[in-house]
Amino acid sequence: MTAPILIIGGGLGGLTAALALGRQGRAVRVLEATPELGAIGYGIQLGPNVFPMFARLGLTDALLAQSILPRACVMFDALTGAEVTHIPNEPALRARFGAPYVVIHRVDLHKILLDACRATDTIALEPSTSVTGYTQHGDGVTVTAADGRAISGCALIGADGLRSLVRARIANDGEPKPCGYVAHRTIVPISEVPDGVQRDVSALWIGPRYHMVHYPLRNNTLFNIVAVFRTDTFGDKGDSAFNASEVAHTYATAHPVMKSLLERMDLTRRWVIADRDPVRKWSEGNVTMLGDAAHPALQTFAQGACMAIEDGVTLAAMVDQTDGDFALAFKRYEALRAVRTARVVLEGRRLWEGYHAEGLDRDAWLQSFSERREEDTLACLSWLYNGIKLPIQNKVST
Ligand SMILES: Cc1cc2nc3c(=O)[nH]c(=O)nc-3n(C[C@H](O)[C@H](O)[C@H](O)COP(=O)(O)OP(=O)(O)OC[C@H]3O[C@@H](n4cnc5c(N)ncnc54)[C@H](O)[C@@H]3O)c2cc1C
């Protein structure tokens, strides 16, 4: 029997790659450190560029069934509450990019991919398998797990997130770069959303050194709220009283609608926001990486998962094209992906400044955002939302 392709990490990127490769009839083992794959999560936004990936995987209907299509993405001025600009959704986005913008519960998205992986005979999902290292040899790769097992495969894909051990070997660029901001995330029943909050849009409130995002989820029964702000303390000790006082101080100037949402947030846990400088080299022989392991970005474009999903499908397409010459496939894959994903990182950093600017700088950004007509905004996003061209797939098993 052919040795399997090993994938470290059963996040959205790892599962997408597993499914796309498994659908070609290739044996895949997904090694995931946590005991349950995809057990936690908040909301996630998906741009139109992700839809052709789901079409390739035969999962468009499943995705749409679990998603919500907000009326529009609206940017609000966090100080005045005024609308600054918006991106329309249906029908304008579909007319321009062939698909809508949707929001979905991450758990539901994960389950769509998990169910499809489970229904594919050649894919083995192995939770509670924490990979500690790997060695490459003539005919493949062997990884070691924390429990002492050695697992061999024909190739290795590091889909192991921001602190990827595969990246540490290939790029050797140390720790991720915190940008000074943290995020709190909460999901509340939509019935608890205070009056004055627009529930049918995906909202982005931009303020000096802080922003907030919110949108509905799961058939309009839930509401996802994300508060992101600059901190000097990072306050990552899980002390919710400290977090609450820091949030109250930071958002003192925010519009009352934002404050009414902040009151409903669980401030126990926070995420440190970080990215990495883009690198061109993602692969070494039969080993490569994808998703946050390869190109973690700030959340400006809300595209990290979308890029991980594009990676997974592209990578599998290159393996198909080279008929299993992994070293060649991985080189082609990284060449196809490097610039696009670097742009998400680098343009994301520049726009992040605009979202959080202060004083006159902020006034200038606000003027620039508000002068954009709908077609200007769509033109600005076309490099991203137009998506990627995938080669025709040769080997597809049903
Ligand atoms: C606040 C916030 C909001 C976001 N919003 C959006 C959004 O709206 N839209 C969007 O597209 N993106 C969004 N993102 C980004 C998105 O979450 C990530 O880019 C995406 O989840 C990356 O997927 P991944 O599969 O590469 O990595 P991950 O999801 O990090 O998965 C990595 C997996 O590898 C496992 N793992 C790690 N190390 C090992 C090991 N040694 N052995 C075995 N398993 C291991 C981990 O347990 C994990 O399951 C957001 C991120 C944040 C922080």
Question: What are the sequence ranges of the domains in the chain?
Answer: 5-175+275-385
Q: How far is the CA of 162 from the centre of ligand 1 (A)?
A: 7
Nearest Cα residue to 328 out of 172, 159, 336: 336
Peptide bond into 91 cis (omega under 30): yes
- CB-ligand 1 contact for 49 (6 Å cutoff): no
Position 236 scores a pLDDT of: 63
* CATH 3.40.50.300 for domain 5-175+275-385: no
In sequence order, which ranges of 322-356 are alpha helices (DSSP H)? 326-356
Angle separating helix axes 12-22 and 304-321, nearest 10 degrees: 20
CA distances from 17 to 182, 282, 309 (A): 29, 15, 8
Nearest Cα residue to 253 out of 307, 208, 192, 222: 208
Q: How many CB atoms lie within 10 A of CB 371?
A: 10
CA distances from 350 to 63, 264, 307, 332, 370 (A): 31, 31, 18, 29, 17
Q: Is the dihedral of CA 393, 336, 286, 288 positive or negative?
A: negative
Position 111 scores a pLDDT of: 97
SS3 321: helix
Decide the pairing of beta strands 271-275 and 72-77: unpaired
Bin 164: left if φ > 0, else alpha if -120 < ψ < 50, else beta: beta
Position 398 scores a pLDDT of: 45
Angle separating helix axes 12-22 and 106-118, nearest 10 degrees: 30
If residue 14 lies in a helix (H) or strand (E), which one and from where to where?
helix 12-22
- CB-ligand 1 contact for 168 (6 Å cutoff): no
Distance of CA 389 to the CA centre of its chain: 20
> What number does the ligand 1 atom closest to the CA of 308 have?
26
Q: Which two tokens stand for residue 393?
A: 């797939």
- CB-ligand 1 contact for 143 (6 Å cutoff): no
Q: How far is the CA of 339 from the centre of ligand 1 (A)?
A: 20
Q: How many CB atoms lie within 10 A of CB 386?
A: 13
Q: How far is the CA of 42 from the centre of ligand 1 (A)?
A: 12
Strand arrangement, sheet containing 150-153: 131-137, 140-145, 150-153
For every one of its 398 residues, what pLDDT tens digit does the chain have, with 9 covering 90 and above? Answer: 689 999 999 999 999 999 999 999 999 999 999 999 977 789 999 999 999 999 999 999 999 999 999 999 999 999 999 999 999 999 999 999 999 999 999 999 999 999 999 999 999 999 999 999 999 998 899 999 999 999 999 999 999 999 999 999 999 999 999 999 999 999 999 999 999 999 999 999 999 999 999 999 999 999 999 999 999 887 666 688 899 999 999 999 999 999 999 999 999 999 999 999 999 999 999 999 999 999 999 999 999 999 999 999 999 999 999 988 999 999 999 999 999 999 999 999 999 999 999 999 999 999 999 999 999 999 999 999 999 988 777 766 54
Q: Whose CA is nearest to atom 33 of ligand 1?
A: 9
Position 395 scores a pLDDT of: 66
Measure the CA–CA gap between 170 and 222, rounded to whole angstroms.
Answer: 41
